[in-house]
Amino acid sequence: MRVGIVISDLQHQFAHAEALSQGLAKHGITTRIYSESERRVPDESVCACWGWRIGKPLRALGKEVLVMERGFIERMKWTSLGWNGINGHATRRWRAIPYRLERFRGLPRPWVANGVYALLIGQVKGDAAVEGVDLDRWYAEAITGISRYGLPIMFRRHPVAVMHGQFDKPTGAQILENALAEAIEGAAVVVTFNSNTGVDSLLAGRPTIARDKGSMAYGIAASDWKMQDRPDRQAWAEMLASSQFSLEEIRSGYAWEIVKDSAPLQ
């Protein structure tokens, strides 16, 4: 077996490509690293890449694609792995490993019954996670949906959106500029399309609404406009912890040992 790894020239992508190559070698799998700038279609039927922007055209060619991205818990410290899609759009799943959640002590936190506003989470227009979504239209729909709670509606812009000059201000919401953790702490309910903030808020014990199945909170968060009950989050949190790996775990071959035998999602 041989795996093609496609990356851009960004340093973190190169580091992950090298780590994955070393990890696959531990399993007797050879690799070839392709630069995205070469615009060459990999010969291999199984590929790996960083992000869905690279992964999507590979999948369209019929490749099995292992997509690397930021993690779901402590995002910048971990790397998520998913087959043929990012986040909840991955098409295959492996069995959760309960002990991995022990690395994140105190999670999930107990449910909290306070908060003084509904927090609407902004996302980045043009991002792969919201490809084809009219975010302005969705924000308007969300404002209508959560107005029934009788709470002030606060809108937190995504920092990357601001960097790109996207200063969205949905009608009916006030702008909240607090740090994300602080913004979640003050919320009675957190509402998102498919942002990873839905994961953060559920782990923090806040009622959460996630409207798109691409969200890793989807299926445990509410998906309609009703205030969420308090579901058991243990199995879900174990699944999250089992879907992300350290760079060293990728390099050692441990991550491939977990993901290689995944089964198609029903």
- The mean pLDDT value for 15-22 works out to 98
pLDDT tens-digit readout, 243-254: 999 999 999 999
Confidence at 213, pLDDT banded by 50, 70, 90: very high
Report the pLDDT value the prediction gives residue 25, as an integer from 0 to 100: 98
Report the pLDDT value the prediction gives residue 264, as an integer from 0 to 100: 72
Which element (helix H / strand E) includes 187?
A: strand 187-192
With pLDDT > 70 as the criterion, what percentage of the chain qualifies? Answer: 99
Return residue ranges of the chain for CATH 3.40.50.2000: 117-232
Say if residue 266's pLDDT is above 60. Answer: no
Confidence at 228, pLDDT banded by 50, 70, 90: confident
pLDDT tens-digit readout, 97-145: 999 999 998 999 999 988 999 999 999 999 989 999 999 999 999 999 9
Amino acid at 21: S
DSSP string, 61-109: TT-EEEEEEE-SSSGGG-EEEEESSSGGG-SEE----GGGGGGSTT-SP
Residues with Cβ within 8 Å of 53's Cβ and at least 6 positions away in sequence, in order, are 128
In the numeric block, which tokens belong to residue 239?
A: 């699944």
- The mean pLDDT value for 155-164 works out to 94
Residues with Cβ within 8 Å of 199's Cβ and at least 6 positions away in sequence, in order, are 72, 73, 215, 216, 217, 240
In CATH, the number for domain 2-99+243-264 is: 3.40.50
Confidence at 265, pLDDT banded by 50, 70, 90: low
Q: Could you tell me the fold of the domain covering 117-232?
A: Rossmann fold (3.40.50)
CA distance 215 to 187: 19
Which residue, 86, 93, 21, is CA-closest to 264? 93
Say if residue 177's pLDDT is above 60. Answer: yes
Helices (H), the chain: 11-25, 52-60, 135-146, 159-163, 180-185, 197-203, 234-241, 247-252, 254-259
